[in-house]
Amino acid sequence: MFSWTTFWESFIPLLWAARFTVLVSGLGIVLGLVIGALICAGALSPWKPMRIFAALWVSFLRGVPLLVQLLLVYFLLPVIGINVPALVAAVGTVAICASAYISEIWRGAINALPRGQTEAAKAIGMAPLPQWTRIILPQAITMSLPALINELILLVKASSLVSVVGILEITRASQAQAATTFRPLEVYLAAAFIYLAINLCLAGVGRWLEHRMAV
């Protein structure tokens, strides 16, 4: 029943489509980490409007499905005269959506650090900046690494939704392949292997960083 021919042949179009998965999720990760750090800083800021902004950002972006966000960006912005190219809309939306999850991971890690540590640092006369760079951040980043890698792997898989703006990534290519060969099992299995290869790279980087940063 299982057609090995279809399975092997599926790799050609799927690998070709993987370019877009890697591009969209790669750029999405980099931008998402930067925006996520800013939002996290906002959430922890002493200034209330900033905290409210960060809370709304997280609430909206985690609450509304990425699919709907993409539809909004690509199909509602043109109505008010902003016409973004598909790839820009895809990368931007994925990055912004990811930033909400990433900022929550970092906020959680920072909040979980015992207050005694910063108090001790203050007591020995450490300035605020080194308190952050030498005490809080190194610990929070190490602690949050596994959760962060979890999130980045999810992001690679969630990038499949960008097909709604017409980008032919792995999942979309597998649907097309399944519809012409009428052998979805073989095709989805091949797609799973390609995603696995990409995500193993991410997980590997994560493990390596964890070992390096472990105290």
Partner 1 sequence: MNELLAHYGPFLLRGFGMTVLCWLLGTVGGMVLGLAIALIQRHSIAPVRWGLRIYIEAIRGTPFLAQLFLLYYGGPMFGLRLDPIPAGLLGLSVYSSPYFAEIFRSAFGSVPIGQIEAARAIGMSEMSIVRRILLPLGLVSALPAMVNFSIVLTKETVILSIITVPELMYQVQRMSAETFRYVEANLALALFFWGLVELISRLGRRFETRITKHLIERT
Partner 2 sequence: MTIKNTLKAALFGLTALGVSAPAFADQLADIKAAGKIMTATDMHYSPFDMIIDGTYQGITKDIFDEVSKELGVEPVYQDIPWTAELPGLEVKKFDIIIAPVTITPERLERYAFSLPIADATVGLIRSANDTETKAPEDIKGKAVGVQQGTAQAAQLQMFGDKIGGITMKEYGTTDEAYADLATGRLQAVAGSLPNLAYLVKARGETFALLEPTTFGEPKYFAWAMRKDADSASFVEAINTALLKMTDDGRMKAIQEKWLGVNPVLPREVPQD
In the complex, the smallest distance separating the C-beta of residue 61 from partner 1, rounded to whole angstroms, is 10
SS3 labels along 166-184: CCCCHHHHHHHHHHHHCCH
Residues 53-72 that bind partner 1 (CB under 8 A): 58-60, 62-68, 71
Is residue 195 within 8 Å of residue 170, measured between CB atoms?
A: yes
Helix or strand (DSSP H, E) at 89? helix 86-112
Q: Which residues lie near partner 2 (CB under 8 A)?
A: 13, 16, 67, 71, 74-76, 78-81, 163-166, 168, 172-173, 175-185
184 binds partner 1 (CB under 8 A): yes
How far the first Cα of the chain sits from its last, in Å, is 52
Interacting partner of 8 out of partner 2, partner 1, none (Cβ under 5 to 8 A depending on kind): none
> What is residue 47's three-state secondary structure?
coil
Closer to partner 2 at the Cβ: 27 or 165?
165
Closest CA to 148 of 108, 90, 117: 108
- Residues at the interface with partner 1 (CB under 8 A): 1-2, 58-60, 62-68, 71, 101, 104-105, 107-109, 111-115, 143-147, 149-151, 153-154, 157, 160, 171, 184-185, 188-189, 191-193, 195-196, 198-200, 203
